[in-house]
Amino acid sequence: MRVAIVSLCCLCLFAESDRDQQRAELAKLADQASVLSRAFGLIHELAAPSVVSIHTREQFRVLNRSEMRAEVRQVEVGEGSGFIIQSDDKASFILTNAHVVCQTNSQQRFQFDMAGKPLTYASIGVATNDNRTLDATVVGVDIQTDLAVLRISEPNLPTVVWGNSDLVRVGDWVLAEGYPFGKGYSATAGIVSATDRSTGIYNGVRGFEAFIQTDAAINPGNSGGPLFDLRGEVIGINANIISPTGSNAGLGFAIPSNLARRVAEDLLDDGELSRPMIGVEIQELAAEDVAGLGLSRIHTLGIAKVVPGSPAEKGGLLAGDVVLAINKLPIVNWQQFRAKIAATRPGEPMEFKVWRNRAAVDAVLIPISENQLTNRIGVTLPGFGLLLGGDDKAGLAILHVEPGSLGEQAGLTPGDRLLHERTAGAMQSLDDVRAIANQRELVLQVIRSGRSVWLRLRR
């Protein structure tokens, strides 16, 4: 019996010794982990004064039954987040999502005025971290990147620091900040789970999608808020989620900071975006075909056509080239390609690497603005949002359709061909297009996928 008692006591001593070792090891690990916790805390302390809550209101006419008269009332219709990107002695400027401040319908599609401009809400209010509420005005909106810049008349506010989204890698820790569910300022942590991700959410406006995907919690109200890296620099703008419930399910998406910064700077300068163009048509190649060219199967972006006189032609790109990289960053899909172009300023050199005749070829392109390119290659019908160009085929090619325009609403897409206009007759030259540019109504015969259709466009 004594032997049993002694053995039990020894076991207890050994067990307690093991627990002491475990506590000591845990204390060391906790000290190490506290470094990451402190980093998150510092990011919060630095960023919180620059992150704002945005509330939108709309005017509605209602009947006051007791007095039998109509009244105009403002009703809160939405909320989101934003962050201060610039501030001076007179005012401060905030970046947010376009869908936070622009009107959308029940299908979440942007609404436009008679001039084709996105409709913003009647009143936009900004609440700062120290509980001040300020009226905001819209400086500029770009729906294709889902970004908007606001102005508030509050000077000398703290601003964020931009990071380089091209350096973001899967596994990087990030912190998402904003005002979800109207419950006040909140910070959530996670990792980057994917880059250059496309969800199709901007397809309706032919938007640019090369999202940073994260499992940091993003919820309704977070839209427009910043996504920070561990250096406390903004590497993304929280934009949307995929979820069966409408709340966070671990799939959040942020607009890369390099694209957002370029758009924001243009909107600050001019209130509108000068979009760069290089003048190529792109086709997706089958993985088997790419492998047959001696390439990795992930590089499937081929150049189908180079526009004569374009930056692409001057830079030496050829039809049949396969795009490998832009500015030394690998390019593997169409949305990533478009986003990289959009993040570049007109006139800023771009280094291309393409695959040609089983060898890598370098080329330097100088993109020009969309307006410069369209003036070179075709004629616009600005009231209808169409750019038309001539070639050796019957009719005129539709080269570009402005998002939200009458042309887009009628279902026209690049690649369709315009054959006739009811009153003007056959469309055979660019001069024929110029002759109908001032008409208020067009009835067009269009060839689409081999079928002839008639469409009416009225402005």
Q: Per-residue pLDDT tens for 25-84?
A: 888 888 888 889 999 999 999 999 999 999 999 877 766 666 666 677 777 888 999 999
Q: How confident is the model at residue 16 (pLDDT cuts 50, 70, 90)?
A: low
Q: How confident is the model at residue 448 (pLDDT cuts 50, 70, 90)?
A: confident
Q: Alpha-carbon distance 274 to 341, whole Å?
A: 12
Q: Where in the chain is the domain with CATH 2.30.42.10?
A: 276-370, 378-458
Q: How confident is the model at residue 259 (pLDDT cuts 50, 70, 90)?
A: very high
Which bin fits 49, alpha (ψ -120 to 50), beta or left (φ > 0)? alpha
For residue 232, what pLDDT is reported?
95
What is the C-alpha R_g of the chain? 28
For residue 134, what pLDDT is reported?
95
- Percent helix, strand and coil across the chain, each to the nearest 5: 25, 40, 35
CATH for 276-370, options being 3.30.565.10, 2.30.42.10, 3.30.1490.20, 2.40.50.180: 2.30.42.10
pTM score over 0.85: no
Structural tokens at position 377: 């290659």
- H helix intervals, 88-141: 98-101
Q: Alpha-carbon distance 35 to 43, whole Å?
A: 12
CB 421 within 8 A of CB 443: yes
Overall average pLDDT of the 346-371 stretch: 92
For residue 15, what pLDDT is reported?
64
Q: How confident is the model at residue 414 (pLDDT cuts 50, 70, 90)?
A: confident
Q: Where in the chain is the domain with CATH 2.40.10.10?
A: 49-152, 165-258
Q: Report the top-level CATH class of 49-152.
A: mainly beta
Closest C-alpha to 178, from 216, 146, 141:
216
Whether residue 300 is predicted with pLDDT greater than 90 in this model: the reply is no
Helix axes 334-342, 257-270, angle to 10 degrees: 40
Catalytic sites, residue numbers? 99, 146, 223
Q: Alpha-carbon distance 157 to 84, whole Å?
A: 8
Q: Alpha-carbon distance 386 to 215, whole Å?
A: 40
- pLDDT tens by residue, 128-160: 988 899 999 999 999 989 999 999 999 999 999
For domain 378-458, is the CATH number 3.40.640.10? no
Q: Is 428 exposed, middle or buried (0-12, 13-18, 19+ CB in 10 A)?
A: middle
Q: How many CB atoms lie within 10 A of CB 436?
A: 17
First and final C-alpha spacing in the chain: 102
Q: Which fold has domain 165-258?
A: Thrombin, subunit H (2.40.10)
Closest C-alpha to 302, from 315, 293, 311:
293
Q: Alpha-carbon distance 144 to 106, whole Å?
A: 19
Whether residue 194 is predicted with pLDDT greater than 90 in this model: the reply is yes
Which bin fits 444, alpha (ψ -120 to 50), beta or left (φ > 0)? beta
Task: State percent of the chain over pLDDT 90.
Answer: 45
Q: Is 259 exposed, middle or buried (0-12, 13-18, 19+ CB in 10 A)?
A: buried
Q: Alpha-carbon distance 214 to 336, whole Å?
A: 17
